[in-house]
Structure 1
């Protein structure tokens, strides 16, 4: 799965973008994308099979089996991401179906025999095949026709996909960079405390970032709609504001809830020795509240065709996190790494927000002024009520 994520070259995101942008050519996009993904999966599969003896010596057969399935994993994703652009409800069903099928198959294997790595790989491959089949059936209803492989479509997919990959690689590295550096800089026990705290506080990120996954194809569709410029701009602004606001609000609420409950369930579940992880969790909370919103803004910029802006912001995030972790950890230990992670998330949030506002041609000062006006409007009735109740607003 990691090989598929890195080596698919952003083609899956490109399929979603172009199907949403031009549904009339959706079948051509899916068919062309499927061919590109199949060839990429075949290359990854062959390379993995040949490299298996040098990578592992204990589970060579299971490793090779996983890479034999790469063409299926790659090509099967084309309809999954096409559904993201055409039917969110069907897309959600398909996304839930794969892990559910995997759990059921694992359970059946455990009932009948001993679970091994080979059996686990077989179950994973079967669940992905079922997901691809269901996605193709549902996708065929939303995008009728047969479609054909087109060179011009392939060029567009490759161009958009390569820009997406430029942003995906720094994001993938930055998401685990602090843990990788701490593995070298601190003792294993300290690393364990940090990892536990980090795993708990990030539990709500998938929910917060989901708003961006919904917004991305809609923004792509509105960009190419035949509506008037005023109507199109209004729709794009509305979707962007709703996605960013909902993501930021939900992320903040989830982090507050997890932080409040952490002193109780962390010790109850893992023991008294992990009480020190509560402080770490609280330090991380500020940055984690922004991570889901950052990923939402990733998808917004991708829906607006601004993948390079995402890549630029994520590269700065990677460099900033590396520099801060290396600078703070020797003197502050894992607490320094937690501070570094939060500060880097804040920097990325500001950069992404500026990029979104720049693409939409909205000055940051305008947003701040409107926010102050909104706060003043909400405070006005309360202040008048308070003044009346204390008698300070009455004329003598």
Structure 2
């Protein structure tokens, strides 16, 4: 169904219409087969990149779109509703660009951001490890300092050794935003630094993609750093301050996941409503039976509430106000909503919903991962609960 949008400018309305048109023409015809074949749609990312959608929330002077998060997130929702691989990919790319845009020096921004935001490059965010997912501060990938004159440039630099797990775009990204330990082992959050590493760096390689229950066209892989030389100028922010960068990036990234979840949930709701209109039993459309109509009413209410929650958090961010806890709420509620709504959509469709002939089962499988990525929903509850106690 048509979603009523409140957009701040005519330019934003045109941008969202462009996203909707691209989603319908470029994503919808390819999503089902793309997921069946597990073929990463790199050409689609180039298409949306050339349309200006890969750098929306970043400044125009660096090649970005100069749009508020309120607008950017609605673009994510539109794309995710047709193909989550692309909507999630946009969110991950935006997350990977965040450290340079927000914590880089002016020289780093001027040098790196135009290429990162220009539409041809795609990024990946390397924080999680096999033993440190929710406990990200326990990461062990190490970046050892090299003396000036002995490293990859005259100013010295670092040698990186370790592996990152569950990396979206692992093996297909053009650059990796890496978090590695520069402090002593056991130094915790205070010993982590952030780096910008091009995919072409010698010693950087990805394992074959994981076999997943959904999002098959979006590669998730272990990325290995085997004595990778990183120049001193590739460190983003002060040494040992990388965990602060990572958490700030995740606050914004969680809003991207929330928007993507709403896109998935809206797609499932639309499918269920259309089926309830057309499917007839006992001489009338099944949507006229209270058991189905009440189910649809609950689904629609949950989707609308999830959308308003992520938009409210985005407006706080755009106004420069604290938004981290509201982002955790949005991620928690929107992804739980997506799981409920897609499950209920399969129920409304009955046997047809359980087959791969219709996208309901794919949407249900895709919704599950959104409760896990960029901080499990248990972690979101922990963040929210701590903030409530701190306020008290």
Rg (Cα) greater in structure: 1
Q: Shared fold (TM-score greater than 0.5)? A: no
Give the structure with the higher percent helix: 1
Place the TM-score, normalised by the shorter chain, in its bin. under 0.3
**TM-score after normalising by structure 1:** 0.27
